[in-house]
Structure 1
């Protein structure tokens, strides 16, 4: 067998199981989700059993018409790079919809192997697919598999090997005579400009008058005119436009293929998924159910199960065992006092404060992975489309926000799936309002310090993020920069199924590992720097924290945050260090408060010391600001890459910081008047003006944008 690299492209619709198959074949651990956009760029991996075979996991697409960024990525690779084989992954439970892409792949001129995934679900439903008849009609081999149950995977490797040693020409489907005659005439014109294996594909695209393909082929004016005449005559003969002619032909062929190959069960009763969706996606019940589910998730993570682990890690592991043990070792080795302070008061206090919230994160990650895997989160994207569309955003914008609950960086990158440039930029600006895993320690800190008995505080952070996104969608859509049509949202809802424990545990492990890795690198380095600044003055003399360089800087900037209720230099410094990484907020408090000997009523934890320096209202204001302000440096870098413009990036950061400041200001000033914490004066009056301004921005009348019809939440089971 040849040792040369053999390239295999994995192509399929979103939710077809393409990335799961990629992971099974390569041993990689790419993210998998029940919504489109999880794979937003091409990813490579080598086959586990043969390292000379390279698999390319392309973004999930519905067709090769480049209407979205992921379709452009896939089409450019298939047509220009030309892989040796195409593995077309099809959701066998929705074969009609998936075969549309198959009809296009067969025209590229690259050998196609059709992989029917989810055959276990097909059998369970009582349907039957005759793979031999399907293979004969498509002119391509069919491999039935179930990635979830690891069935049929080995047959794919065997078929790749068989194709690798043969010179196979892929046949294409044949349309009706009039259309075939037109395509044959176009082939004669274009064959001198394009590679022979792909001439059929180019002919079809030129018949559809695909502008991007027209730009790719440098034809003479005469040849362009001849093709235009061929298309024009065909449209007159068939009494339709060229795109519609091609789409209709494809679906007529698909109907014939499915009728001959697929036997549907006679059952007309509603499936379990249908019955559940009648409640879960109900117009009136969906949002209350979603609110309850997220409250319960945060209740488990922050208030009960997760807190038990966090209390032990904070109080026992990093409160007693690690510091006492390390102190004994350092004393035994006669380590210098400054080095002992660095290790105990800097590294252990800073990194330990962050790692103390790992148990809560693990519970949260596990709960969210269960919701994703069972199919519920994809329903929420459908439900949120109803809400978002009213306020100028597509439900497609909620997908990056779901991704951002794990980390803001992939959440920002997931915005690539949004076709409309204005909607994409607005989504990038608002996605990081969602509380990511790095913000959860801040939520846990404030909840534990000021609201230990209140279960509403943690989930309120989640809904505050959604509320800010909705507000931003309404207001920004009324500006000239973001006005325009709202992109339609098309999404297939997978059938409900029990979460796969292995998959959920793996996702939880990967996310937790990423959190720990960040604590061991960025947070470690930040803790050393913060300790140095908090332990020395400008003369590099070791001093008390209140006389340190950090205290001097903190006092200089604290005045900016005094109107928000937390004008102490410690809180101001923590908010600034959070720009490096949001976990630094907790790490900074761990260094500044962790070494104090005072014991509060809530114990020796850092949140006990924090509760002595701020009121509960000021603590909640601090939480709001850190949830909504500019994200960490890594996410800012992702925003810069996706915006591809420093001006737009600066605008996004300024908007995020501005709205964070205004919302925190309003909550603290008006909340303080309501609960009697302070009297009504200039600052509360200014807060009222801000509220009036926000209400005006919400309801001001603008010239309505042209509306588009939405096709949202199509459930194809």
Structure 2
């Protein structure tokens, strides 16, 4: 079977092409940094595997996700490459293309976004590029799949179409390349000339690969000699000289294959960006966009759908299960486990599925439309003030869906200090798992202002993250700032199929958790509420669950929710935040969300309810997020720190909110 690598710049449609060529779905967004590790899918014609690598601008890695590509080139075997190129950004994209061609592996160029280029007055001739580079160049539309059949057909011939591509870098560099090649071992598994060029460019992955197995001292001497000669004659380093030569090659290629209109028209994207990325209007537009998103989720669309699902689960589904259990003469214990444990626990969370999917649909729309890149840009100034850049805001936005991929997306940040800081702060973003808790409490206490209250929680998470970023970057994580460079893609109306798949991909994790974590957690919680020191079938107040929750009662009392029920529910949230709602359904022994909200209105005040939601927003990350932080940081110390500081901040803020609110008479 063939192994084909799919490579391109960020935001060129690479992952969309992967989805069309394999028939599978990977996360797609109209912004950079979507793929943070390689993903593998089977090509539709069963020829082999397609490997989707992170978007990069150069083979010399700057960040952890870019290092994945260089590591792949030097350590993995593959048969060919598909290089996706943005026709509207040809000069920048071809810089990577030349580096790939120098690897002398079979390659197909997919020329994407030809329509965008035309709207910008750029006309590209694929046949001319193909003739110059001596590789097939196929115009494609990665979003719709146009041109993918031609790419698939060419893949069948890829093993017989090796590339022989060389650029003359001038006497000094060519002499350095030649000398390094003679020092490389004959058993080297990667092309010697490509390896020598990458070494002279300073590619750390390639240098470490060679130095780990072979004597690098003589090669190092060649590098120093080349640097001295080039600096003496041209006043530049080898990497800058190589870049300038490639840039000249690209200029000649574009001159022979591209025509540009002299008066480029102002596009719709340009007109919209005048307002959306405005230094003053940008942030208010972002806040209004978020508020409308929550208004749709909680008031206009989500609430009626959740009420309908609640009625279905607590009515026909519960009746059907009850009748089924009676028909098989199930014991009272089994009935209690199923109805009071599983149905109450899992069903109590599932009623909020419509609101979660609506939120994911809206987030997916904004991503595909191209707005999220603008959100990162307008936040860059605020992020810079606290020791981060707008690039750190992208993982945080992803964290609104789920903190796990948000933490992983920090790999796209080049600076280790900023990457660690982003990893530590991303769990403060309000993920979808917290949404059932918010929906439950705002429905009970803030029925007329649900969107405003939930919106305030999301903003609070961002504000706390920014404040802590300033504190951490000024104390424990001091370091230099990096520059934020972001490509703003053209606005594109999302396709219905892609929008549905993106929404489902985000939301299915919530449903999967309902069948695993929440299911298992509900059974355990019910058993703890059913058993006590005196045996089975005890009163809830005499159960093991009450004993466990009671330990936290005096600690939580100053926050406004000093009951064993609240303490026990919060403990379960470390498994998954949704389980907090499951635990409450079981503890209060209710059949639907409306009943639970009615009981909560007697156990909490509006102030203590808001304090509780703030605590849930900020306290310890869930188990999956903690495991991801451990993996991404490679440090137990920072993992413990991420859990500890979040718990302290949650307690302090909830304490301030409740105590100050009480003094003010709320």
Question: How would you bin the TM-score normalised by the shorter chain?
Answer: over 0.9
Q: Determine helix, strand or coil for the equivalent of 1:438.
A: helix
- Superposition deviation, residue 12 in structure 1: 0.5
Offset, 1:596 = 8.1
Q: Does 1:304 align with 2:297?
A: no
Measure the CA separation in 2 of the matches of 1:596 and 1:213: 61
Cα 1:139–1:581 change in 2 (3 A) is: same
Distance 2:502 2:317 in 1: 29
Q: CA deviation at 1:205?
A: 2.6
Range with bigger deviation, 206-215 or 65-74: 206-215
Equivalent position of 1:587 in the other structure:
582
Structure 1 unaligned segments of length 5 or more: list them. 598-602, 678-717
Is 2:631 the counterpart of 1:645? Answer: no
**Aligned pair in 2 of structure 1 residues 498, 376: CA closer, same or farther (>3 Å)?**
same
For the pair 1:456 / 2:452, whether they are aligned, the reply is yes
Partners of 1:474 and 1:174 lie apart in 2 by 49
Cα deviation for residue 301 of structure 1 reads 0.5
| Structure 2 spans left out of the alignment, 5+ residues | none
Question: CA 1:221/1:545 → structure 2, altered by over 3 Å: closer, same or farther?
Answer: closer
Q: Is the 8 A contact 1:433 1:628 kept in 2?
A: yes
The CA distance in 2 between the partners of 1:38 and 1:559, in whole Å, is 45
Residue in 2 that maps onto 1:237 = 233
- Kept in 1, the 8 Å contact 2:124–2:259? The answer is yes
Deviation at 1:429, TM superposition (A): 1.1
* From 164, 181, 205, the counterpart of 1:170: 164
SS at match of 1:279: helix
Q: In 2, distance between residues paired with 1:569 and 1:255?
A: 71
The answer to whether the 8 Å contact 1:82/1:110 transfers is: no
Q: Say if 2:514 is the partner of 1:507.
A: no
SS at match of 2:111: strand
Show the 5 A alignment for 1:276-675.
276-314=272-310, 316-454=311-449, 455-479=451-475, 481-595=476-590, 604-674=594-664
The answer (yes or no) to whether the contact 2:67–2:205 under 8 Å persists in 1 is: no
What is residue 258 of structure 2 aligned with on the other side?
A: 262
Aligned 8 A contact 1:182 1:231 in 2: no
Cα RMSD of the aligned pairs, angstroms, is 1.9
Distance 2:347 2:218 in 1: 73
Q: Structure 1 residue 328: deviation in Å?
A: 3.1
How far off its partner does 1:192 sit?
4.2
Measured after TM superposition, the shift of residue 207 of structure 1 is: 2.8
* Per-residue deviation, 1:183: 4.4
Moved more, 209-218 or 26-35: 209-218
- Write out per-residue CA displacement over residues 451-497 of structure 1, whole angstroms, 9 at most, x where no aligned residue: 00013101111111111110111111111x31001232222111001
The 2-side partners of 1:590 and 1:263 are apart by: 66
* Cα drift, residue 553 of structure 1: 1.6
- Secondary structure at 1:489 match in 2: coil
Maintained 8 Å contact 1:309/1:359: yes
- Cα distance in 2, alignment partners of residues 398 and 85 from structure 1: 35
CA displacement at 1:209 relative to structure 2:
4.5
- The answer (yes or no) to whether the contact 1:624–1:663 under 8 Å persists in 2 is yes
Structure 2 matches for 1:145-224, cutoff 5 A?
Answer: 145-164=140-159, 166=160, 168-175=162-169, 177-179=170-172, 181-187=174-180, 189-192=182-185, 195=188, 198-210=191-203, 212-215=205-208, 216-217=210-211, 218-219=214-215, 221-224=217-220
Instruction: Give a deviation string over 1:140-195, Cα, whole Å, max 9, x none.
Output: 2211111123211011112121222x2524312334x3355434543554354673
Farther off after superposition, 329-338 or 286-295: 329-338
Aligned length: 662
Q: Answer yes or no: is the 8 Å Cα contact 2:588–2:596 preserved in 1.
A: yes
**How big is each residue's C-alpha offset from its partner over 1:298-332, in whole Å with a ceiling of 9 and x where there is no partner?**
11111221000111222x11232222332233334
Structure 2 counterpart SS, 1:65:
coil
Q: Normalised by the size of structure 2, how large is the TM-score? A: 0.96
Secondary structure (helix, strand or coil) at the match of 1:605 reads helix
Q: Is the 8 A contact 2:5 2:82 kept in 1?
A: yes
Larger mean Cα displacement after TM superposition, 405-414 or 204-213: 204-213
- Tell me, yes or no, if structure 1 residue 253 matches structure 2 residue 249: yes
**1:104 aligned counterpart, secondary structure:** helix
1:260: how far off? 1.4
SS of residue in 1 equivalent to 2:51: strand
- Equivalent residues of 1:361, 1:437 under 8 A apart: yes
Moved more, 64-73 or 105-114: 105-114
Native 8 Å contact 1:35 1:399 kept in 2: no
Q: Secondary structure at the match of 1:453?
A: helix
For residues 333 and 230 of structure 1, the distance between their equivalents in structure 2, rounded to whole angstroms, comes to: 84
Residue pair 2:180, 2:219 contacting (<8 A) in 1 also: no
Q: Corresponding residue for 2:19?
A: 23
| 1:701 corresponds to | none
Change (3 A) 1:467 1:522: same
1:119 to 90, 114, 118: 114
- Structure 1 counterpart of 2:29, from 33, 49, 68: 33
Write the distance in 2 (CA, Å) between the matches of 1:649 and 1:143. Answer: 47
Pick closer, same or farther for the CA change 1:198–1:514 going to 2, 3 Å: same
Q: Which whole-Å CA distance do the structure 2 matches of 1:305 and 1:122 have between them?
A: 38
For 1:179 and 1:113, how far apart are their aligned partners in 2? 32
Give the C-alpha shift of residue 138 in structure 1. 2.1
Cα distance 1:228–1:596, how it changes in 2: closer, same or farther (>3 A)?
closer
Structure 1 residues 585 and 220: CA distance shift in structure 2, 3 A: closer
Contact 1:186–1:227 (Cα < 8 Å) also in 2: no
- TM-superposition CA deviations, 1:187-245 (whole Å, max 9, x none): 55435467386222222233334455444243464553244223311221222222221
Structure-1 separation of matches of 2:309 and 2:148? 43
> Do the aligned residues in 1 keep the contact of 2:172 with 2:226 (CA within 8 Å)?
no
Report the secondary structure of 1:439's partner residue.
Answer: helix
**Rounded Cα–Cα distance in structure 2 between residues aligned with 1:354 and 1:347:** 11
Answer yes or no: is the 8 Å Cα contact 2:88–2:114 preserved in 1. yes
Cα distance in structure 2, aligned partners of 1:114 and 1:563:
63
Give the conservation status (yes or no) of the 8 Å contact 1:46–1:55: yes
Pair 185,324 (structure 1): closer, same or farther in 2 beyond 3 Å: closer
SS in 1 for 2:60: coil
Return closer, same or farther for 1:101/1:592 CA change in 2, 3 Å cut-off.
Answer: same
Once residues 362 and 190 of structure 2 are traced to their aligned partners in structure 1, the CA distance between those partners, rounded to angstroms, is 49
Q: Report the CA distance shift for 1:260/1:167 in structure 2 as closer, same or farther (over 3 A).
A: closer
Note if contact 2:106-2:161 (Cα within 8 Å) is conserved in structure 1: no
The 3-state SS of whatever aligns with 2:458 is: helix
